[in-house]
Amino acid sequence: MKLLALIPILIICGWMPRPPAVDESLGYLTVATFNIAWLGDGHGDKILRSGDDIYNIATVIRDCGAEIIALQEIENERALRRIMSFLPNWNFIFEDNGGKQNLAFIFRDYIEVTGAELIKNRLAGIGRTRPPFMAHVRAGNFDFYIVTLHFKATSRYDDTKEKVKRSFKIRKAQSNMLNTWARTILDSSKERDLVILGDFNDNPDNKRGLLKALKENAQLEFVTKDLRSCRNKNWRGVDHVLLSKSAGMRMLKNSQRSYDFQYTFSKAESRRISDHCPVIVTFSLKAEDND
């Protein structure tokens, strides 16, 4: 199938035997998004992490129950391999966009993930941004496109009104671009199932409406928009799962959740894991394939 607005990249995979079929007796597939916050390779890292910290991150990944996880803020392949060394029977696909905050997918070795590509970024004139990263997944009779993304943040470094406005402009443009891509796929291909995950650095219900294009797309739904941040329950969540209507029909009711590992680790340990928590949804593998 020919996809529009895509460019190929080099795919780097961890020990990739041909995956066996999913055990359909299980009947379910759980996916998650997790921003690991400047996961480095141990050399000049922005957040210093010991071997125990890396093990704790791998423990969170294992214990959250997801079988496919979209990752953000991975410095390089070496950084990702530090975690993978504690995750036997998992594979990965890593994308290097030339910066220090890259995207990846990790997944259990019985899941088939192929055709990884960048979604071409057409945001000329607004500065360098991280293009989303997509792949095709097959688990049992459920096949779908999965996307991991990391939209522009408004952070403490945006210390002037002009910088804040610029961050808003970029995030809105990223939302518009992704919305156009999703419409293209759903309107011009046979694939009806899209699972879009990542750090949107915003909530679709925020009054400034920077994710308006995606929120108002009748073909898509933010199924996690009501989740709260694990850092502060008064904050709306910014890590989300966005589903096409077809994929949403497979989602188990009320399965959207955040895995708050802060109850398992000390405050100091939790800070070195991440300032985000995995956000998760579960799908049924029992429904008939509709595309």
Query: Mind listing the pLDDT tens digit of every residue in the chain (291 residues)?
Result: 333 443 333 333 333 333 334 444 569 999 999 999 999 999 999 999 999 999 999 999 999 999 999 999 999 999 999 999 999 999 999 988 878 899 999 999 999 999 999 887 655 445 567 899 999 999 999 999 999 999 999 988 888 999 999 999 999 999 999 999 999 999 998 999 999 999 999 999 999 999 999 999 999 999 999 999 998 999 999 999 999 999 999 999 999 999 999 999 999 999 999 999 999 999 999 877 877
- Of 147, 174, 177, the residue nearest 5 (C-alpha): 177
Q: What is the 3-state secondary structure (H, E, C) of the chain?
A: CCCCCEEECCCEECCCCCCCCCCCCCCEEEEEEEEEEEECCCCCCCCCCCHHHHHHHHHHHHHCCCCEEEEEEECCHHHHHHHHCCCCCEEEEEECCCCCCEEEEEEECCCEEEEEEEECCCCCCCCCCCCCEEEEEEECCEEEEEEEEECCCCCCCCCCHHHHHHHHHHHHHHHHHHHHHHHHHHHHCCCCCEEEEEECCCCCCCCCCCCHHHHCCCCEEECCCCCECCCCCCCECCEEEEEEHHHHCCECCCCCEECCHHHCCCHHHHHHHCCCCCEEEEEECCCCCCC
Greatest Cα pair distance in the chain: 55
Residue 58: how many CB atoms within 10 A of its CB? 18
The pTM of the full predicted model, rounded to 2 decimals, is 0.90
Q: Please calculate the CA angle 162-164-170 and round it to the nearest 5 degrees.
A: 100
CATH 3.90.850.10 fits 6-15+23-284, yes or no: no
Pairing of strands 28-39, 68-74: parallel
The alpha carbons of the chain give a radius of gyration, in whole angstroms, of: 18
pLDDT at residue 290, rounded to an integer:
74
pLDDT at residue 212, rounded to an integer:
98
pLDDT at residue 126, rounded to an integer:
57
Angstrom distance (rounded) from CA 57 to CA 273: 6
pLDDT at residue 25, rounded to an integer:
52
- Cα–Cα distances (Å) from 216 to 122, 126, 183, in that order, read 21, 24, 12
Angstrom distance (rounded) from CA 65 to CA 277: 13
The two structure tokens encoding residue 178: 């992704």
The two structure tokens encoding residue 21: 């079929």
pLDDT at residue 130, rounded to an integer:
85
